[in-house]
């Protein structure tokens, strides 16, 4: 077998492995997004609060970025507002829309990547 054929096969295997890994990672994050745990925020006083709904297109458009940021920094708490027992946070944090990020006195509702970076500390 020539060197070119071996390199070609190795590259093909690498591409397939990367594609499968990317797909599996994407599916896992989608699974996490759909979970609806009941959150007790008193346990997380210094964290960034990310209020979202799993059926919200704007929330879905930024969820993966925030999830992977949190995989490294561990500073974001995900609160799915489709969980009925999390809805009391609407009044407590005066939420008017999702996605909303709150950290200390900073607050942002929307999908602007620069503003999200400012709050989550990317």
Which structural domain range is residue 44 located in?
35-120
Most confident range, picked from 6-10, 17-21, 37-41, 96-100: 96-100
Residue 23 predicted with pLDDT over 70 = no
Q: Are 48 and 76 in contact (CB under 8 A)?
A: yes
Q: How confident is the model at residue 21 (pLDDT cuts 50, 70, 90)?
A: low
pLDDT (0 to 100) of residue 1: 64
Looking up residue 88, the CATH number of its domain turns out to be 3.40.30.10
Which pTM value belongs to this model? 0.71
pLDDT (0 to 100) of residue 11: 79
In a domain, 70, yes or no: yes
- In tens, the pLDDT along 49-58 reads 999 999 999 9
What are φ and ψ of residue 78, in 5° steps? Answer: -95, 120
Q: Residue 56 and residue 39: Cα distance in Å, rounded?
A: 19
Q: What is the number of structural domains in the chain?
A: 1
């Amino acid at each position: 077998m020539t060197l070119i054929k071996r390199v070609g096969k190795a590259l093909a295997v690498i591409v397939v492995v990367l594609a499968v890994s990317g797909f599996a990672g994407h599916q896992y994050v989608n699974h996490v997004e759909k979970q609806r745990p009941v959150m007790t925020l008193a346990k997380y006083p210094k964290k960034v609060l990310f209020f979202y709904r799993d059926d919200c297109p704007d929330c879905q458009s930024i969820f993966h970025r925030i999830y992977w940021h949190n995989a490294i920094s561990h500073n974001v708490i995900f609160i799915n507002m489709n969980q009925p027992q999390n809805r009391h946070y609407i009044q407590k944090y005066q939420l008017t829309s999702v996605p909303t990020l709150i950290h200390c006195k900073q607050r942002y509702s929307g999908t602007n990547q620069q503003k999200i970076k400012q709050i989550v500390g990317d």
